[in-house]
């Protein structure tokens, strides 16, 4: 393991450690809203549109059985509903209920605020640079849109 003598960390360590940091902020926010981290992710994904189960599994990176359990629990809590898929009578589309949409909006807004605080000491140009570089990492690796830009979610 290499260490930088000037106090800086390398790209790999910085990306991994920032992932842990963002996940911790996300999990804390979810907990305060009575959600698991995965339920928070599900709600944020469904803010954009309803999804079929296969699509949801791919976006969230969950196996079918894990996704079914997540959707079952979220449905029991009144956050999501399953509707018949108009294009396939054997399939369903998962969408937010009214309660789920309100909770998703509150959770999303607060989580965005908390994540934005992580860069509160940055100058605007530094934030722009960070966003551009991370945006390239996300785009180049075809990361699904699990979490939208704050302005795009509304």
* Domains of the chain, first to last: 29-140 (1.10.10.10)
**78, 70 contact by CB (below 8 A):** no
Distance between CA 48 and CA 90 in Å, rounded?
23
Looking at the chain, the whole-number percentage of residues with pLDDT higher than 70 is 91
Taking the model in full, what pTM does it have? Answer: 0.83
Distance between CA 116 and CA 131 in Å, rounded?
11
**108, 73 contact by CB (below 8 A):** no
pLDDT digits (tens, 9 = 90+) for 103-146: 999 999 999 999 999 999 999 999 999 999 999 999 999 887 76
CA-based nearest residue to 103, from 27, 148, 44: 44
The pLDDT of 45-69, averaged and rounded, is 93
Distance between CA 114 and CA 37 in Å, rounded?
15
């Amino acid at each position: 393991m290499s260490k930088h003598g000037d106090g800086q960390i390398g790209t790999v360590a910085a990306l991994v450690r920032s992932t842990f940091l963002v996940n911790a902020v996300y999990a804390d926010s979810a907990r305060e809203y009575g959600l698991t981290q995965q339920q928070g992710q599900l709600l944020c994904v469904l803010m954009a549109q309803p999804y079929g189960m296969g699509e949801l599994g791919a976006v969230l990176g969950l196996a079918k059985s894990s996704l079914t359990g997540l959707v079952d629990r979220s449905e029991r809590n009144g956050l999501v509903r399953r509707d018949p898929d108009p294009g396939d009578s054997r399939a369903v589309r998962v969408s937010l209920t009214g309660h789920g949409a309100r909770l998703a909006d509150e959770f999303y807004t607060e989580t965005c605020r908390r994540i934005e605080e992580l860069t509160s000491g940055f100058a605007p140009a530094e934030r722009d640079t960070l966003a551009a570089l991370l945006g390239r990492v996300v785009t180049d690796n075809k990361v699904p849109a699990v979490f939208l830009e704050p302005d795009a979610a509304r």
